[in-house]
Amino acid sequence: MQRGRPRRVARDDIALLRWLGRSSHSAVALVRGEGTYVWDADGKRYLDFIGGIATVSVGHANAKVRDAVLEQTKLLWHASNLYVTEPQVRLAEKLVRLSFADRVFFCNSGAEANEAMIKLARHFHVVAGHAERIEIVCMNNSFHGRTLGSLAATGQPKYQQGFGPLPAGFRFLEYGEAKALEAAVSDKTCAVLLEPLQGEAGVLPPPRGYLSRVRELCTKHGALMLLDEVQTGMGRTGAYFAHQHERIEPDAMTLAKGIAGGVPLGALLAREDVAKVFTPGTHASTFGGNPLATAAASAVMDLLAEGLLERVQRAGERLSMRLAGVGGRSSGERGSGLLRALLLSEDLAPKVVTKARELGLLVNAIGERVVRLAPPLTVTDEEIDRASELLAEAVAKA
């Protein structure tokens, strides 16, 4: 294969990838990316407004991230959790400086980070002499991952069915309903686990004040407030972490997706008094905190600090305005920063996604009436305008 030239991918090569697709969608074989654009095996170019599902945070093939990884490849690729490495420590220090947290545990994905957070919360109460505090209050329509623990916390029965028995002790409430929360959280509660804005539920923000109420109730009852910022964190909503918009602090939080710009990395962050219950050997990961991945994440964080966060706020407002103007069978938009949804008044979302793809725009459907957009945070105004035009055309033709 020649460098930079798209290679044809035979249908058989992509059989595994199709496990992830909707059966109605024929898979697109992507071979190259640059900024907000990707190219498929036939050389067709797409404006990528889903960004690996909110993961390609600083654009495809970002030069600074690539250089950071390349430099690290000359030094050390792997060390395991028996040792620490410089890129790991550097990244942890940056995350701690910008967040409520004192400690960081690195793993490889969002689901793994949530597994670690659930274990941390349970163990926190065990160490405090309250092994009976096992109940974790979760939210309907949430998404926390596909491993058994994170799946047990996911409030979408369609993902859980066929995999039982799931771990016990998870209870579900309507997201955003403070009254239900007040009735459910007690001195027996282990933790409340939620997303600061529900991504997979259709880019759904909670009512203003809801996160503060969760915080108050957790503090009052000695339960831990656990935030899943896998989709919303690392600048996606225009703040480093989405909960910072509401000026509250959780006890622990998970990150993944955009943290390393597309290189696999997950993280669990916690305050010292909570984190300290994980002593060496309590929880671990062989690949977690891999030097290549943490070097990539450090470069992503430097880019966020160099004015990208402010840019996300302005770009998010522009995208919001453009989506509101899509018209036709769209009925509005919602979201925060560069995590947004176009809402449809008919069951058209999968068709809109297919049409958009034909027109050279990648977005994704959540259910039948929501089209999600999560472009790289480096997206330009011109790209936002063009994507909105293509989306309007896709809605009209779907």
Q: Which residues pair with 344 in a beta bridge?
A: 330
The stretches of 162-289 forming alpha helices (DSSP H) are 178-184, 210-221, 272-275
Q: Cβ(350)–Cβ(324) under 8 Å?
A: no
Contact between residue 354 and residue 390 where contact means Cβ atoms under 8 Å apart: no
Residues that bind ligand PLP (CB under 6 A): 109-111, 114, 143-145, 195, 199-200, 228, 230-231, 256
Point out the catalytic residue in the list 228, 241, 278, 351.
228
- Which residue, 91 or 260, is less far from ligand PLP as judged by CB? 260
Which one of the listed residues 105, 106, 124, 143 is annotated catalytic? 143
Among residues 257, 278, 351, 355, the one annotated as catalytic is 257
CB of 279 to ligand PLP, least distance (A): 26
124 by Cβ neighbours in 10 Å (0-12 / 13-18 / 19+) ranks as buried
Q: Which is nearer to ligand PLP, 6 or 155 (by Cβ)?
A: 155
Nearest distance from C-beta of residue 38 to ligand PLP, angstroms: 19
Token representation of residue 305: 């600090």
109 burial (CB, 10 Å; 0-12 / 13-18 / 19+) is: buried
Provide, rounded to whole angstroms, the least separation between the CB of residue 384 and ligand PLP: 23
Cβ closer to ligand PLP: 200 or 383? 200
| Residue 145 and residue 301 in contact, taking contact as beta carbons nearer than 8 Å | no
Which helix (H) or strand (E) covers residue 91, if one does? helix 86-98
Smallest gap, in angstroms, from Cβ of residue 199 to ligand PLP? Answer: 4
Residue 294 Cα to chain centre, angstroms: 17
DSSP at 251: S
> Is 228 in the active site?
yes
Distances, alpha carbon 335 to alpha carbons 235, 238, 327, 366, in Å: 14, 11, 17, 14
Distance of CA 273 to the CA centre of its chain: 26
The least CB distance from residue 39 to ligand PLP, in Å, is 24
Query: Which positions are catalytic?
Result: 143, 228, 257
